[in-house]
Amino acid sequence: MVSLMCDNDPTREYTFLETNEEKGYHLFPGELENDEHIFFHGTAEKNLESILESGFRISGNLSSVSFAKSSSLSLKYACEARNESSPRGVVIAVRFDCLSKPYIVQESFGLHVYNLDMQPHIVGYCFIPENYVFC
């Protein structure tokens, strides 16, 4: 697996600020939210370490990994992924340098990636508190 993560470019943790409808439920600064090559993935906190160390993986009966164009959509998935063994969720921001690959399918919500031999560059993440309620 080839990684696009650079050792001299550390992944940044973004502080969760109470997000709401007025802010569009966005978790990251506008320069990330509005960058056409930045996408977001929501998951349980327990998956973050593995993703940072080994990259994203297609698991279970799925054939792809999904990345949303907006952190607000990934916020929903991060909240739904929380459970007793992983009470916080996390939204991960990634950069795809090239979107015109045969294994990347662009959809209205974002992307389905069917081959992760070339990993996106992880630019940051934001933990979602266990008591945050996404409406």
Question: pLDDT tens digits for 65-76?
Answer: 999 999 999 999
Check residue 22 and give its pLDDT: 63
Structural domain contains residue 112? yes
Structural domain contains residue 29? yes
* Containing structural domain, residue 101: 12-128
Structural domain contains residue 135? no
d(CA 116, CA 2) in angstroms, rounded, equals 9
Question: pLDDT tens digits for 91-102?
Answer: 999 999 999 999
Check residue 135 and give its pLDDT: 57
Radius of gyration, alpha carbons of the chain: 14
Structural domain contains residue 98? yes
Check residue 19 and give its pLDDT: 61
Closest CA to 40 of 62, 132, 29, 19: 29
Q: How many domains does the chain have?
A: 1
Check residue 2 and give its pLDDT: 33
Beta strands 104-106 and 12-13, pairing class:
unpaired
Largest CA-CA distance found in the chain, in angstroms, rounded: 40
CATH code for the domain of 86: 3.20.170
Q: Which two tokens stand for residue 131?
A: 């008591």
Question: pLDDT tens digits for 2-49?
Answer: 333 444 455 799 988 766 666 667 889 989 999 999 999 999 999 999
Question: pLDDT tens digits for 108-135?
Answer: 999 999 999 999 999 999 999 999 887 5
Check residue 25 and give its pLDDT: 74
